[in-house]
Structure 1
Amino acid sequence: MSQTDIHALLQRYQRGECTPEEIHVVDQWYELLGQERAPLQLTTAEQEEARASMWQQISARTHQAEDLSPPAAHRPWYAGSWRWAAAAVLAISAGLGAQNYLTRLATVPVATVPLEASGWQHYANTTAQPHTVRLIDGTTVRVSPGGQLKYPSHFAAQHRTVYLKGEAFFEVAHDKAHPFRVYTRQIVTTVLGTSFLVQAPQNEAPVVVKVRTGRVRVQPRPSAELAATPAPLVVLPNQQAVYSPQRNALARQLVAEPVQVASQSFTFDDRPVVEVLTALEKAYGVDIDFDAQVLTGCSVTLNLREESLYAKLDVLCKTLGASYQKTDTNILFRSSGCAAR
């Protein structure tokens, strides 16, 4: 490994641009400490420079988190991020075989892991009621009973990142220049400004991200135990991403009960059915697939103010003699038209 390679890795650490795979490799180095491995091909001068550079960035960060972390035996799953940097120094010092690891990293396109935030705080909701935590950027997080949230007093320069165990509802303050990221044990959810619910059970049950407004990107975190990582998904209002750890599968679905996301009147006085369906799409942000040509000439008089989306569709279908079907991402509305009426 050349001195240039080491400099590149250390600079990524210092800028907070290391990938989860790189972090995992460092964690692997930590686990290898004390075991016999093929020596790393570094000169003595290169090892000294690597060690000095690593410790420079460690000293700037470790004091921000270690004093907030519980003892190692009781430390939660996300509290090991500061150990990784130290592990890298020890690994380089011990001469562990890392060259093959680094060669593999360049081909893995994954989300970056934050390292530049400061003053990490930890909130655990031990009550029987949801509790709202307000972050420095104006984002609010409604943490459900049993949920745990780790968040910084001041966000990093290029991103806003928090860590979650359990369930919480996020209303993210819009900031296009600083993406907001929610890390759970198995997935990363990235948004610009939106509201969404994250359910991250501590067991192997599916992890669910339900979007109310805006859009989010959901991406499984890479793991050495997995042969491949599913591709990320963009999730829209009233959709949810469901990640199954047991099957290593990520899927997009409609939520069970879509909520209204835009203001809309549902009183229609002899209005075209196409107009009614378009209004429902706008109000709930859900795509409704219908044949406008078949529905030409179909008009209805309805007052649907107090009904859910599916209840509205039930009333409309009963009036027209039509039907609808839910798919993973939209609703199929089918009618034979109104020519015979």
Structure 2
Amino acid sequence: MLNAMNPTDIHSLLQRYQRGECTPEEIRVVDQWYDLLNHEQVPPELTPAEQAEVRAAMWQRIEGQTLQAEDLSPPVRPLRPWYGRVGRWAAAAALAAAVGVGAQQLLTRPAAPAPVATAQASRWQLYTNATTQPHTIRLADGTTVRVAPGGQLKYPGRFAAQHRTVYLQGEAFFEVAHDKAHPFRVYTRQVVTTVLGTSFRVQAPLSEAPVVVQVRTGRVRVQPLPGGSAAPVPAGLVLLPNQQAVYSPQRHALARELVAEPQQVAAQSFVFDDRPVTEVLAALEKAYGVTIEYDAAALAGCTVTLHLPDASLYDKLDVLCKTLGASYQQADARILFRSPGCAAR
């Protein structure tokens, strides 16, 4: 640690840190502050005002980089050789929201929000849901964000010319206004989710717990952000309705799964009177937007009589499996249906 830094020294250090003009020793000091804040600890040599200045510097760097990008890809080029990639700044930005006191110039929290808050000014807003109920934020483009208790959302009063970017910590449900010319991005500490117009849920805890992105309608792309480790960054995934991406920060792994309770995405009758099993499976695929793989030859000639109007997808599959003596399992958001065939019944 550098010796006997007074407030003027700390302010000067943070200014040079933003500009990339620090010495290796100074970089190490600020990195240590970052690591302490990342674990929700307060560096003892920093006053509350200096902590706010650290958070402000983090926000300025992440915003300055992400808002200048013009394509759909998450920004991955190094910000500075001395600090690492955007993923680390994204983590720092989410952390900045988590620590508490906001910097005066950057982090403005709406006072006594109404049931639906609307972004009016061009400056950035930081909303923290300190209540026990979800709270809806309406953004300038018409997008609504339902922030869960404990969640934090950072958003601009007016979006950039090329795309729309917000930052999230915690959980929120997004209903994005469709705008093909202006992609919508949600940054968390670990991943960036890119959409054009859809509805989806993001669960982004500050801890090392997995990040989960669940799609209700439309499609989204989920891309892990590069971090400070040397581990390779997993390839991104495109998600469809009833699918979710689960990113494990500890294993640096991104997986695609079906959500726990798939919802119907298309109207479909589930009354089958002596109908081919393959017809039942096709109806389930259409109703829930899922892919079901099976051995068509083994099911040739198999018919069933089933009435399943109110059951969930998995309940329907359980009844079908019990009728046929079959089984199923999930793999990469697909359902693998296995049946011994009618001859074994």
TM-score, normalization by structure 2:
0.67
2:18 corresponds to = 30
Summarize deviations over 1:243-276 as a string: whole Å, max 9, x none: 1222222222222222222222222222221111
Structure 2 unaligned segments of length 5 or more: list them.
1-13, 26-47, 66-77, 91-120
Secondary structure at the counterpart of residue 269 of structure 1:
strand
Q: 5 Å matches for 1:262-301? A: 262-301=266-305
Summarize deviations over 1:164-191 as a string: whole Å, max 9, x none: 0100011112222211110011210111
Asked if 1:256 corresponds to 2:256, the answer is: no
Check conservation: 2:86, 2:225, Cα contact below 8 A. no
Taking the aligned partners of 1:270 and 1:244, their CA distance within structure 2 comes to 45
Q: Name the aligned partner's letter for residue 322 of structure 1.
A: A
1:147 corresponds to = 151
Q: Which of these residues, 53, 60, 76, is aligned with residue 82 of structure 1? A: 60
Percent identical among aligned pairs is 68
Summarize deviations over 1:44-91 as a string: whole Å, max 9, x none: xxxxxxxxxxxxxxxxxxxxxxxxxx955247968733257999xxxx
Q: Which of these residues, 196, 199, 204, is aligned with residue 200 of structure 1? A: 204
2:232 corresponds to = 228
Q: 5 Å matches for 1:106-121? A: 118-121=122-125
Taking the aligned partners of 2:340 and 2:135, their CA distance within structure 1 comes to 50
Q: Name the aligned partner's letter for residue 142 of structure 1.
A: R
2:322 corresponds to = 318
Q: Which of these residues, 162, 172, 178, is aligned with residue 174 of structure 1? A: 178
Taking the aligned partners of 2:226 and 2:183, their CA distance within structure 1 comes to 20
CA positional deviation for 1:226: 3.4
Check conservation: 1:269, 1:301, Cα contact below 8 A. yes
Structure 1 unaligned segments of length 5 or more: list them.
1-25, 38-69, 88-100
Taking the aligned partners of 1:145 and 1:102, their CA distance within structure 2 comes to 33
Taking the aligned partners of 1:295 and 1:28, their CA distance within structure 2 comes to 69
TM-score, normalization by structure 1:
0.68
Check conservation: 1:118, 1:156, Cα contact below 8 A. no
Taking the aligned partners of 2:80 and 2:21, their CA distance within structure 1 comes to 20
Asked if 1:218 corresponds to 2:218, the answer is: no
After TM superposition, the structure 1 stretch with the greater mean CA deviation from structure 2, 215-224 or 155-164, is 215-224
Taking the aligned partners of 2:302 and 2:212, their CA distance within structure 1 comes to 39
1:50 corresponds to = none
Taking the aligned partners of 1:280 and 1:76, their CA distance within structure 2 comes to 52
Taking the aligned partners of 1:269 and 1:79, their CA distance within structure 2 comes to 66
Secondary structure at the counterpart of residue 296 of structure 2:
coil
Asked if 1:137 corresponds to 2:141, the answer is: yes
Q: Name the aligned partner's letter for residue 308 of structure 1.
A: S
Taking the aligned partners of 2:182 and 2:240, their CA distance within structure 1 comes to 20
Residue 31 to residue 76, structure 1, CA distance change in 2 (3 Å)? closer
Summarize deviations over 1:274-325 as a string: whole Å, max 9, x none: 1111111111111110122322222222221111111000111112222212
Larger Rg belongs to = 1
Secondary structure at the counterpart of residue 154 of structure 1:
coil
CA positional deviation for 1:227: 3.8
Q: Name the aligned partner's letter for residue 312 of structure 2.
A: S
Q: Name the aligned partner's letter for residue 149 of structure 2.
A: P
1:337 corresponds to = 341
Asked if 1:127 corresponds to 2:131, the answer is: yes
Check conservation: 1:151, 1:163, Cα contact below 8 A. yes
Summarize deviations over 1:4-30 as a string: whole Å, max 9, x none: xxxxxxxxxxxxxxxxxxxxxx99953
Taking the aligned partners of 2:64 and 2:158, their CA distance within structure 1 comes to 23
Check conservation: 1:77, 1:185, Cα contact below 8 A. no
CA positional deviation for 1:121: 1.7
Asked if 1:245 corresponds to 2:249, the answer is: yes
Taking the aligned partners of 1:186 and 1:78, their CA distance within structure 2 comes to 20
CA positional deviation for 1:223: 2.3
Check conservation: 1:158, 1:178, Cα contact below 8 A. yes
